[in-house]
Copies of this chain bind each other. A is one copy, B any other.
Amino acid sequence: MELWEKLIAGDEVACARAISMVENEKDGYLEFLRKIHPHTGRAYTIGFTGPPGAGKSTLVDKVVKNLREKDLKVGVIAVDPTSPFTRGAILGDRIRMADLNTDPGVFIRSMGTRGSLGGISKATLAAIKVLDAYGCDVILVETVGVGQSEIDVVKTVDTVVMVMVPGLGDDIQAIKAGVMEIGDVFVVNKADNDRAKKTKLEIEMMLDFNKDWAFRPPVSLAIAAENTGIDELVDNIHDHREYLENSDELEKRRLNRETMQIHQLVEDIMNKQLDQKMDGRKEDVKKSLDGDLDPYSIGFDIAQELLKSNQFIK
């Protein structure tokens, strides 16, 4: 059997190999994705995001256990930044999930960011495809951090869970991060803190500032470390899923994800050719730095060499 056939058949080792293959863009990975594509589209994807220290890993851990009790096959993709200091993804968070690793109904994968933005979301989208073809009913994507790249990653899922912590509202850290608006479901974790209820209220107020919700994001409290509030969170995610499925929103989101995937592939192809061209222009770049040329003229010139159409030359 070929790798893709093994994957479809639910072979765990094949799944691990397949994710490595697509993540590292090894020879034939596109052909591989093409082959598994007809076997995808069944998995439901849930993203978990929020500020560092919000306890996302522990929360994801408990949600996985909850879903396992419902006998669902679960995939977890944890997007961790790669540090040149460590030459690899930081695995600290993952170690906590050790007990889940022995469960054949759970597949956990940490992904490095590969140093580039396109890298993260591209690899994550491809890994979602693989886990989908592998037969996962639900795929959880956990992103560390609150930056734009993380937002881009999490935008590709069906339901976005924003994990908040008490006290954040005090200095509107949440808004600063610019991620409030992408949450479909909110949860204030570490709710044994006094300020948890106040933070919940602040989030609700901020949400109610926008009166036009087709689905007003629910906000719940949780203490992931004590397994408290997980049922309510899972119920809230389920409500959002029902809303998506009963409107045209689910299809819209998935069309978006598909579009993003195509976009990334074409951008990738274009960027490779652009990089080649740039390599041949090192002297021009130097001239630009010296003021003898300018970056805008060089840019237009390169675009003209790369693209069939010249309609941009104005």
* A84 is an interface residue with CB less than 8 A from chain B: yes
A30 to B177 CA separation, bound complex (whole angstroms): 30
B-contact bits for A135-151, CB 8 A (1 contact / 0 none): 00000000011111110
A295 to B41 CA separation, bound complex (whole angstroms): 13
**Pairwise interchain contact A295-B83, C-beta atoms closer than 8 A:** no
A269 to B297 CA separation, bound complex (whole angstroms): 13
**Pairwise interchain contact A263-B269, C-beta atoms closer than 8 A:** no
Residues from chain B with a CB closer than 8 A to the CB of A306 are: 266, 270, 307-309
* A273 is an interface residue with CB less than 8 A from chain B: yes
- Asked whether A181 and B148 contact (CB < 8 A) given A262-B299, A273-B312, the answer is no
**Pairwise interchain contact B295-A278, C-beta atoms closer than 8 A:** no
* A81 is an interface residue with CB less than 8 A from chain B: yes
A311 to B13 CA separation, bound complex (whole angstroms): 34
* A72 is an interface residue with CB less than 8 A from chain B: no
Chain A contact residue count (CB 8 A cutoff): 85
**Pairwise interchain contact B307-A270, C-beta atoms closer than 8 A:** yes
Q: How far is the CB of A53 from chain B (nearest CB, A)?
A: 7
Looking at the complex, which one of B261, B271, B282, B303 makes contact with A295 (CB distance below 8 Å)? B261
Residues from chain B with a CB closer than 8 A to the CB of A41 are: 289, 291
Q: How far is the CB of A211 from chain B (nearest CB, A)?
A: 12
* A85 is an interface residue with CB less than 8 A from chain B: yes
Looking at the complex, which one of B80, B209, B251, B312 makes contact with A289 (CB distance below 8 Å)? B251
Interface SS of A by simple majority: helix
Stretch at the interface among A32-40, A62-70, A98-106: A32-40
Given contacts A30-B296, A258-B295, A270-B303, 11 further A-B contacts (CB under 8 A): A38-B291, A53-B171, A53-B173, A85-B180, A90-B176, A148-B148, A148-B149, A265-B303, A266-B306, A269-B300, A270-B307
18 contacts between A and B (CB under 8 A): A30-B296, A34-B297, A37-B294, A41-B289, A53-B173, A83-B175, A113-B148, A120-B148, A146-B146, A147-B150, A148-B150, A261-B295, A262-B288, A262-B302, A265-B295, A265-B303, A267-B274, A270-B274
Q: Which residues of A contact B (CB under 8 A)?
A: 30, 33-34, 37-38, 40-41, 51-53, 80-86, 90, 92, 113, 116-117, 120, 144-150, 152, 171-173, 175-178, 180-181, 206, 209-210, 251, 254-255, 258-259, 261-263, 265-267, 269-274, 277-278, 281-282, 285-286, 288-289, 291, 294-300, 302-303, 305-309, 311-312
